Structure 1
Amino acid sequence: MTANTHRKTPVTLLGLGAMGTALARTWLAAGHPLTVWNRTPARAEALAAEGAKVADSVAEAVAASTLVVVCLLDDASVGTALDGADLTGRDLVNLTTTTPAQARARAAWAEERGARYLDGGIMAVPPMVGIPEAGGYVFYSGSRELFELHRESLAVPVGTAYVGEDAGFAALHDVALLSAMYGMFAGASHAFALIRGEDIDPVAFAPLLGDWVRAMVGPMVDGTARGLASGAYDDSESNLAMQVAGTPTFLTTAEEQGVSPELIRPYFELMRRGLAASGAGEGTTSLVDLLVRKG
């Protein structure tokens, strides 16, 4: 153990799946004393060989460090794992994927047990961990004071982005971005399905699709944000009336190509509802409010 290691914040990590193991290795490489626990002890053997201390129980692991990071399967796993552990005086950072409501409830649960709490949403996959140029980061929400205290240590595996005192905001940002991702995945899947049966090389088609999506999504995202902030939903260049008029072509093309419209039809139906509710001059920004359930 070097003198440099002693100056680093000790970390306890609960959970050694693919993500947990990647996090553990970066903290070890950076010289942080690391205590780990995993329900299946065999997963900790390689980390022990790299310098991690392996705890026999969650209680032992939690007692080893003030900073306790949790990266488990789901919120229920967090409650089960920490049940019976003394959290008094501990700084609990939960990187487990949860809903915003679960994060808020877990924050209250931790505080009742004498711990300070930060929730995190990981915007990275394991191969991105420990590689700054890969662009991965974690959303954090909860105690700002706690985030600032441990910012340097938390930034070792991937970047950090603090999004507010509300403990649910990290999970909300995480799910919002991932939901947008899956929507784009759906569109890309439909596009590839349309050309699937033709003499069109998907590898040659891919950069056309990628460039088009990037060119369209950026301005759309910025325009929607500005419209929501200002309340100005009019769009003279690409209003709902114009877009709805074009949807039969897309649906007919799918039918001709033998492709199910299940990925694009729901959005077209939402556009028609928006047109009926708001009039021809508004753009797709108005659809955001149509999605939000009232009452």
Structure 2
Amino acid sequence: MGSHVQQSKASVTVIGLGPMGQAMAGAFLDAGYAVTVWNRTASRADRLVARGAALADSAEAAAAANELVVLSLTDYDAVFAVLESAEAAVAGRVFVNLSSDTPARAREAARWVTERGGSHLTGGVQVPPSGIGSPESSTFYSGPVEPFQRHRAALEVLTGADYRGDDPGLAQLYYQIQMDLFWASMSGYLHATAIAEANGIPAEEFRPYAVSAASIMPGMIEFYAPRITAGNHLGDVDRLAMALASIEHVRHTAEASGVDGALPALLAEAVRRGVEAGDGAASLTSLVARFRRA
């Protein structure tokens, strides 16, 4: 493929055809876009090509085919490998980087692309591949506002677009703090399920009680966020010392059940440091400041 940018109809390139990239390319095809794809393992493009996508023979050819280039790769090591191989085609292109990594690496990629005459939009997709194509889904974006606005209609083929600002690191920051909450919550659920099953309670029997416990969280976040913002960590509704006692009860229950107690032990250690520093009568929210200092 040459360097001519397609102009006949709405067009896009998708580089990276894991489950997320497959879903994105498919959504663009469904929306009537002319789609060019490239993946290191070319066979992953077979189903998309059968649906009308064009398979480029290199990352450079894929990037050269369209102004809008969506990157859906494992991490920014893979992103840089692709960008460096496509360096000659970077100028004049808008790279929408929907790969996951740290805010610092997003800023690094944005600098690299900008220095070579291209534009870089960072994205943090908030849904699994099954959520692509749904307007109820959302993706964080950050970077230069002009190319974001120019290509917003294309981005909204994939999900709703939540623009967070011109700092290219912001979309990744918002994404990673969401993931921080997600992985901690899922780990807690799986650990509780392990204790349940070790005591003869199947996951399906535990399910409604797990859902009930998880359903408390939105209300707690709504209640505590304004207090955290105000620096109010008064122990009027909860206390760090009580939290420590409760977490230790969980740990002892896990260990007595033959379940690894490392996860509650880790939580207990974080809380214990606060208690030992004199915050035992303060709210659990006092850990926010302690985590920052750590």
So what's the TM-score if we normalise by structure 1? Answer: 0.90
1-structure distance, mates of 2:248, 2:102: 37
Superposed displacement of residue 96, structure 1: 1.1
2:158 aligns to what SS in structure 1?
coil
2-structure distance, mates of 1:41, 1:249: 53
Aligned to 1:119: 122
Give the counterpart letter for 1:256 in structure 2.
Answer: A
What percentage of aligned pairs have identical amino acids? 37
Moved more, 197-206 or 264-273: 197-206
Aligned to 1:22: 23
Q: Deviations over 1:65-113 (max 9, x none)?
A: 1111111222122222122332111111111111111000001111000
Aligned to 2:75: 74
Change beyond 3 A, Cα 1:283–1:59: same
Superposed displacement of residue 6, structure 1: 7.3
2-structure distance, mates of 1:258, 1:235: 34
Q: Which runs of 4+ in 1 moved over 3 A?
A: 5-8, 245-248
Aligned to 1:179: 180
Superposed counterparts of 1:49-198, under 5 Å: 49-83=50-84, 84-132=87-135, 135-198=136-199
- Contact residue 240 and residue 280 of structure 1 kept, 8 A: yes
- Contact residue 98 and residue 171 of structure 1 kept, 8 A: yes
Moved more, 160-169 or 197-206: 197-206
2:89 aligns to what SS in structure 1?
coil
Aligned to 1:266: 266
Change beyond 3 A, Cα 1:113–1:250: same
- Contact residue 198 and residue 259 of structure 2 kept, 8 A: no
1:92 aligns to what SS in structure 2?
strand
Give the counterpart letter for 1:21 in structure 2.
Answer: Q
2:139 aligns to what SS in structure 1?
strand
Change beyond 3 A, Cα 1:209–1:238: same
Change beyond 3 A, Cα 1:7–1:274: farther
Consecutive unaligned residues in structure 1, runs of 5 or more: none
Superposed displacement of residue 236, structure 1: 0.7
1:109 aligns to what SS in structure 2?
helix
Q: Deviations over 1:181-233 (max 9, x none)?
A: 11111211221122223343431211111111121x11332334213311111
Superposed counterparts of 1:277-288, under 5 Å: 277-288=277-288
Change beyond 3 A, Cα 1:86–1:259: same
2-structure distance, mates of 1:153, 1:267: 43
Give the counterpart letter for 1:127 in structure 2.
Answer: S
- Contact residue 91 and residue 146 of structure 1 kept, 8 A: yes
- Contact residue 104 and residue 169 of structure 2 kept, 8 A: yes
Aligned to 1:237: 237
Change beyond 3 A, Cα 1:253–1:273: same
Superposed displacement of residue 28, structure 1: 0.8
Superposed counterparts of 1:205-220, under 5 Å: 205-215=206-216, 217-220=217-220
1-structure distance, mates of 2:59, 2:256: 59
Give the counterpart letter for 1:149 in structure 2.
Answer: R
Q: Deviations over 1:214-256 (max 9, x none)?
A: 21x1133233421331111113111212222334432332232
So what's the TM-score if we normalise by structure 2? Answer: 0.90
1-structure distance, mates of 2:91, 2:226: 45
Give the counterpart letter for 1:32 in structure 2.
Answer: Y
Superposed displacement of residue 153, structure 1: 0.7
Change beyond 3 A, Cα 1:91–1:237: same
Change beyond 3 A, Cα 1:186–1:42: closer
2-structure distance, mates of 1:250, 1:98: 33
Moved more, 87-96 or 40-49: 40-49
Tell me the matched-pair count: 287
